[in-house]
Amino acid sequence: MARRLLMTIAALGLAACSQNEVGKKVITEQCIAEGETVEVCECFARSSDEKLDKELFDIVVLGAQGEDGETEKMMEELSPPQKARFTTVVREVIAICGAEDYLAGS
C-alpha cells in the first residue's frame, strides 16, 4: 500500500513537471517567433517557471498562446497580493533575461 502511494505521488510530480515543460516550450517558441533571441526566450521561460507559482505561470503561458481574453480574465480574478507578486516577478524576470526590448514590442 505504501509503495502504491509513493508511486502515485511520484507520477503526479512527474506530470506537473511535464506540464511546466510544455508551458516553457510554448513561451520560448512564441518569444522566438516574435523575433527575440533563443537565449533570452529560454531564460524568460525558465525564470518564469522557477519564480512564479503554477497559477501565475499558467497566465504567462496563456498570454504566449495569444489567449488575451482568458489571460485578462484570469488576471482580474487574482487577489491584490497575487497581482503585485505577478508584476514584481515579471519585472524581475525581464531584467534578469534582458527581455526589455521583447516585451516593449508586445
17-68 tens-digit pLDDT: 446 889 999 999 998 998 899 999 999 999 999 999 999 999 999 999 988 9
**pLDDT for the residue numbered 56:** 93
C-alpha cell at 37: 533571441
- According to DSSP, residue 17 is labeled H
Q: State the Cα–Cα distance between residues 64 and 83, nearest whole angstrom.
A: 18
> How far out from the chain centre does Cα 50 lie?
8
Cell numbers found for residue 12: 503526479
* Averaged confidence pLDDT in the chain: 81
Percent of the chain scored above 90 by pLDDT? 61
The CB-side HSE value for 4 (13 A sphere, CA atoms) comes to 1
Q: What is the pLDDT of residue 101?
A: 64
What is the C-alpha to C-alpha distance for residues 70 and 75, in angstroms, rounded to an integer?
9
Interval 3-22 mean pLDDT = 49
pLDDT at position 19 is 60
Q: Is the pLDDT of residue 79 over 90?
A: yes
15 pLDDT band, cuts 50/70/90, is very low
Nearest in space to 88 (alpha carbons), one of 62, 66, 61, 56: 56
- Residue 42 · residue 28 · CB < 8 Å: yes
Q: How far is CA 69 from the centre of its chain?
A: 17
Q: Which amino acid, residue 36?
A: E
**What are the cell numbers at 62?**
496563456
Who wins on pLDDT, 8 or 69? 69
